[in-house]
Copies of this chain bind each other. A is one copy, B any other.
Amino acid sequence: MKWSRKDLLGIQELDGDEINLILDTAESFIEVSTREIKKVPTLRGKTVINLFYEASTRTRTSFEIAGKRLSADTINIAASTSSVVKGETLIDTAKNLEAMNPDLIVIRHSAAGAPHLLAGRLRQPIINAGDGAHEHPTQALLDLMTIRAKKGRIEGLKVAIVGDIAHSRVARSNIFALTKMGATVSVAGPATMLPRDIERLGVAAYSRIDAAIGDADVVMMLRIQTEREKHNIFPSLREYAQRFSLNARNIELARPDCIIMHPGPMNRGVEISPDMADGPRSVILDQVTNGVAVRMALLYLLTGGNES
């Protein structure tokens, strides 16, 4: 199969074959990062721009390492410290970058739809590295890759996602990805953190973590935006932790061979207890390792790597 899309904007528009192609390509790249010389010449002479309108360590670093291991020239733009300050529109900034002939642009933006806006206007491939509360497709792909590597399959698994479902682009992209690949998804969170009509996405919603994680093969905890506390979205971090934290007691409700995931950064003691984060079921750091491989795969596919 050949990759045919110009951009990677979200999981919602991908089909299962496309997702499998990305995962298979990523698996072929995982070995590069374990070599003595962690570099292949695939993207030599290509320019990849990381345009980040939100602060990020892990995602930006992951894309930068992915680019460099493919021998691309990587350019980081932290937009908060750039001429965006001067009031230029997003499209004008992007058209300017386009005019410098990069080969691909990775964008993270606080506004849902920003990558789509660019994709429709620029000739270069665009990768969405997170747009508002909309999608974070590379996160979902690295999550799928991790599940597939650990469980041998995705179809038929039961996956529980716990936390602030309503405001999480990670949750949205994962719900799309998991249901497309045949997994059963249940979610749990306080009422203020569950979107109305969540069931329309094909998932079962619960108001208690215990109900969601029963017999789960995969338990995916979401980061709580602790800065939201002051907006009264939930009563208190302590109360949240009491009701929704993953811990040694409630993990017993999941399958004995379940795996524990978290997109990071973690609030230890809030959404996840330290023994769960660091215990034998945790695959949280595998997710990070797979993230580099998924991003290498996408840089490769979107710059035409498997066309010939």
| Interface contact A37-B33, CB-CB below 8 Å | no
Contacts of A47 in B (CB 8 A): 38, 65, 68-69
Contacts of A226 in B (CB 8 A): 87
| Interface contact A101-B38, CB-CB below 8 Å | yes
Measuring CB to CB, which residues of chain A are less than 8 angstroms from any residue of chain B? 33-39, 44-47, 49, 55-58, 61-62, 64-65, 68-69, 73, 75, 77-79, 81-89, 92-93, 95-103, 223, 226, 264-268, 285-286, 288-289, 291-292
| Interface contact B265-A55, CB-CB below 8 Å | no
A206 to chain B, nearest CB (A): 27
- Can you identify 25 A-B contacts, CB atoms within 8 angstroms? A33-B100, A39-B45, A47-B68, A55-B83, A57-B77, A58-B96, A61-B77, A65-B73, A68-B73, A68-B75, A78-B81, A83-B264, A83-B265, A86-B223, A87-B267, A88-B264, A88-B265, A92-B264, A92-B268, A93-B265, A96-B285, A99-B286, A100-B289, A100-B291, A100-B292
Q: A55-B82, A77-B57 are in contact. Are A101 and B289 (CB under 8 A)?
A: yes
Q: A38-B46, A45-B36 are in contact. Are A57 and B266 (CB under 8 A)?
A: no
Contacts of A265 in B (CB 8 A): 83, 86-88, 92-93
Residue on B with the closest CB to A33? B101
Contacts of A267 in B (CB 8 A): 87
| Interface contact A95-B55, CB-CB below 8 Å | no
Contacts of A291 in B (CB 8 A): 100
A90 to chain B, nearest CB (A): 11
A139 to chain B, nearest CB (A): 13
Q: How far is the CA of A67 from the CA of B151 in the complex (A)?
A: 39
Residue on B with the closest CB to A46? B38
User: In the complex, which of the residues B35, B78, B96 contacts A45, with contact meaning CB atoms closer than 8 Å?
Assistant: B35
| Interface contact A96-B44, CB-CB below 8 Å | no
Closest 9 pairs between A and B when the two form their complex, measured CB to CB: A37-B45, A88-B265, A99-B288, A57-B82, A39-B45, A68-B73, A99-B285, A57-B83, A33-B101
